[in-house]
Structure 1
C-alpha cells in the first residue's frame, strides 16, 4: 500500500453509502467554498465543503438555468482530524467540450456556471491565469498592517490579489495555483509577531482551520466559476513553517506541535480532486491536462524525486517537513513525467507548460534537487515554458538549458523559458531580490503584488503579462515565438 493510500486511510473518513435520500438542507448541509477542476474535456469535478457529512453528495446540471435535468452523485464526503468541515467531491461527466453549463451543488439555492475545457487541437486563442504563494487576505492575512518580521502591507483601499482575480475572471479560462495555498500554517508565526492573539499550541488547530476556511471562502467568487487547478507547495506540508522560535519567551517549537490534520499535505489531499485519474498521475501531487493548444503538467517539487535525489519536504530533506513520499515506488513521479511528456501529440497540443512550486533558476535561493530531478526531462522533451514561485518576488528569466542562456532569446529558442512569480501576497509580504541579479534575469520586481496572465494566441505565439493586483496595470510583458507547423482546428 502506498504512503498516500495509508495517509488517506488514516486521516480521511469516507462516506460509502451506496444510496441515500437527500438530507434536509440546513446549516450543516449548506455548501460553501465551491470549487471546480477540469476532468478531461468531457468532465468537471465539482467540490464544496459542508459542516456536516453528506451521505450522497450530488450536483444537478444542465445547459439551461431553468432546466437542470441531469444529476450526478458520489460517495465522497471526507474530513480529517482537526478539520471543522467535510470535503465533498462529485464528477460531472459526459459533457460537451468548450460548453457553458449551469450547475447546482446539493442544498445550494442559486445555480452557478462553468465552461468545460477546449478539446485537444482546438486552435482558438484563449487566456489563463497563474498565481503562486497566495494567502488569506484581511485580519488573519495580508492587510494594511503587519506583525513583527513582516513587511509590505497593503495601502489603505488597495485591491489585493484575490480581489484582482475576481475583477478580471471573465478574461481567463482557468486559474492555476502551483503551491502555497492559504498560508494557514503561518498562525504560529503571526502570533509570535503579535499579529494574532496568542493561543495555546493546542488551540492552534482551531486558528489554522479558521485561516484555511477564510481563504477558501474568499476564493469562492473565482473558484465557483473558473476551474482552480492546484499543486503542492511547502506550506501544505506543515503548520509552523517560518515561525518556530519565540525569542521573547525563549521557546523553540517543532512540527511536533502540529496535529495530524495539518501535516503531510493532509489538507491538500482532502480538499481537492485534480485530474490525476484521467492523466494516470497521483492525487493532487502530479497530473496533467489538455486545454486547446496546450498540454499542462503539474509536478511535485516537495517530495518523490526518485533516482536517489532527496526532495526538500521529505524526512531528512532541506525543508525538514517530514512529509511523504507518496509514490508506490521511489521513481514513480519521474517515470510518470517521462511517459506523460513523450506521449504528447505536438501537432494537436504544440505548447507544453510545466508548473512546480520551487524554482531552480532565480536571483536568490534555488532548488538544486529540483533541477537534478526535472530539468533533464523538461529539456529532453522540448517543454516550452516552466512556471514556479516559492520566492515571493517576480522574475522573468531567459530560456535556459543547464544554466546556459539560449542565444535565440524568445525568438524560437530550443531551451525552455522560465518564469518565477511568487508575488501574489500573504501575511508575510514580499521578499527582497539581491542587489545583483543573475545574468539570465530579464525583468524583476520585489515591491508589487501581482499575478500572471498568459494568452495562447496560436500554434506559434504565447504572451505572458505580469498584472499588478492594485490597479490591473501590466508591468511586464513578453511573447514567446516557436517556429513550427501544427494541425489545429479553427
Structure 2
C-alpha cells in the first residue's frame, strides 16, 4: 500500500505544470494494448536507429533468457547472407522486471536500400530502408508522442509521408513510472520504428527518478540506445550523427549543461569537428524549447539557452527542434532574443498526441521573433533538397486527416554568407 501511494504521488508531481495555469482541450483516450500470448522468445518492440557510418542498430525485447542476440539480414526476402551478434541488457524497477533487451549493430549497409531482417532467429521477417547518402533526404518530426488516439493519428500520418529518418525531441511513452507502458509503447510504434531509423532524445517523462530508490533514465537508456559512443559522447542522453549531408546534434535538457559540464565540453568539441563542406546543414534537437511564447513551460529553457546558445550560434546551426510544449510554434531566425539573419530557426513541435492534451494559451502580443503558432496536434516534415535549400511543413491532425497548415523554404546559413562571418 505504501509503495502504491508513493508511485501515485510521484506521478501527480511529474505531470504537474510548473508554469502558468492554462486550459487544455480534452485529449483523446489512452490506447490500451493487451499483452499478446506469443512465445516468450518471440521478438517484440523492434526499432532501428543509426549507429555510425553505414551501420544501424536493431533493438528488440523478448522474455526468454536463452534467446540468441542475433540479427540475420540480406537484400532478398528470406535469404540472409549476413548475421550480427549483439549485446543484451535488462533492468528492474521496483516490482517490475524487464524482458531481455537486445541491441545488435548491422552493417556495413548500402545507402538508400531495402534490407530484410529477422531478430533472434525466429519471428516474422521485417524490412528496413537505409537513408540516402546524398540529398535529397526527408525527416519526419514529432515529439511528446504518448499512447493516445491522437498518437495513433500522428503515426498514421507519418506513415503516409515518404521519410528517411524520424526525429523525436523527447517524451516518448509517457510511462511515468508504470513500466509496462514502455512495453505497450514499443509495440505501438514498432510498425514504423522497425522500418526507418528513429533518432530520439530524452524529455522530462523519461526521467523516472525515485530519490534514494532509483536513478533517472534507467528505462530510457536500457531500451533506446542511441549512437553516443560512436559520436564520442560519454552519455546516451546526448550525441550526434551525420546522414546525407546533415550533421544533427541531440542534446539533453535533463543532463548537466553548464559550461563546466561534460555535455557542454562534448558539444563544443563536436561542433569544432563539423565540416560544412561535407555537411552543409547543421541541426540541433532537445526537449525544452528556448524560444517559446506559449504560457505553458514559460522560461524553463532559459538556463540551458544561456549556456549553450552562443555555441550553436557561433557554429551557425540552421534549425533547432524542440518539444515539451504541447503545441506548435515556428520562429524567424533569432539569436539572444533578437532577430538575427545568422541565427537559427526554432521550431517547437511537442504536439505528437500525448495524454495531457494541448497547451492552448499563448502570450500576447506575439513576440517579434515568433512567426507562426497554433495549439493543435500534428507532425512536421523536413525535406532537405540540396546544400542550399530545405522545405519545412507542419501538418495538423484535423478530423484525422493531415492538413498542411504551415510551411516555409529555408536557405542554409552556409549559402547565406553567415558561415564566413563566424565569430571566433
The TM-score normalised by the length of structure 1 is 0.72
- Residue 134 (structure 1) aligned to one of 130, 134, 145: 145
* 2:374 corresponds to: 445
Q: What is the distance in 2 between the residues matched to 1:58 and 1:160?
A: 33
Per-residue displacement from partner, 1:14-36 (whole Å, max 9, x unpaired)? xxxxxxxxxxxx72110011000
* 2:29 corresponds to: none
Per-residue displacement from partner, 1:429-476 (whole Å, max 9, x unpaired)? 111232512221111101x21011101011111111111232112110
* 2:285 corresponds to: 355
* 1:125 corresponds to: 136
Query: Are residues 1:164 and 2:134 paired?
Result: no
Per-residue displacement from partner, 1:331-381 (whole Å, max 9, x unpaired)? 211111111112111011100000010111110313111101210100011
Unaligned runs of 5+ residues in structure 1 are 1-25, 144-158, 186-204, 240-254, 308-329, 407-412
Q: What is the distance in 1 between the residues matched to 2:199 and 2:148?
A: 20
| Superposition RMSD in Å | 2.1
* 2:164 corresponds to: 173
* 2:182 corresponds to: 212
* 1:284 corresponds to: 236
Structure 1 residue 96: Cα displacement: 2.4
Query: Are residues 1:67 and 2:60 paired?
Result: no
Structure 1 residue 184: Cα displacement: 1.2
Q: What is the distance in 2 between the residues matched to 1:55 and 1:210?
A: 21
- Residue 173 (structure 2) aligned to one of 182, 194, 203: 182
More strand, by proportion: 2
Structure 1 residue 485: Cα displacement: 6.1
Q: What is the distance in 2 between the residues matched to 1:300 and 1:352?
A: 17
Alignment check: 8 A CA contact 1:268 1:284 kept: no
- Residue 110 (structure 1) aligned to one of 124, 130, 139: 124
Q: What is the distance in 2 between the residues matched to 1:86 and 1:79?
A: 9
* SS of residue in 2 equivalent to 1:370: helix
Alignment check: 8 A CA contact 2:145 2:353 kept: yes
Q: 1:108 to 1:466 in 2, by over 3 A?
A: farther
Query: Are residues 1:398 and 2:350 paired?
Result: no
Range with greater deviation from structure 2 (357-366 or 433-442): 433-442
Per-residue displacement from partner, 1:83-132 (whole Å, max 9, x unpaired)? 3422111111222233321111114433222223434xx2x312111111
- Residue 430 (structure 1) aligned to one of 350, 354, 358: 358
Structure 1 residue 55: Cα displacement: 5.5
* SS of residue in 2 equivalent to 1:476: strand
Alignment check: 8 A CA contact 2:68 2:121 kept: no
Query: Between Structure 1 and Structure 2, how many residues are aligned?
Result: 370
Query: Are residues 1:100 and 2:114 paired?
Result: yes
Structure 1 residue 57: Cα displacement: 0.3
* 2:306 corresponds to: 372
Q: What is the distance in 1 between the residues matched to 2:289 and 2:367?
A: 14
Query: Are residues 1:385 and 2:385 paired?
Result: no
Q: What is the distance in 1 between the residues matched to 2:72 and 2:282?
A: 34
1:78-89 pair list within 5 angstroms = 78-81=90-93, 82-89=96-103
Alignment check: 8 A CA contact 1:43 1:94 kept: yes
Per-residue displacement from partner, 1:285-314 (whole Å, max 9, x unpaired)? 11111111211110011121133xxxxxxx
Per-residue displacement from partner, 1:379-417 (whole Å, max 9, x unpaired)? 0111111111111110001111111112xxxxxx31111
Alignment check: 8 A CA contact 2:130 2:164 kept: no
Q: 1:180 to 1:31 in 2, by over 3 A?
A: same
Q: 1:166 to 1:431 in 2, by over 3 A?
A: same
Q: What is the distance in 1 between the residues matched to 2:379 and 2:251?
A: 20
Structure 1 residue 284: Cα displacement: 2.4
Alignment check: 8 A CA contact 2:172 2:205 kept: yes
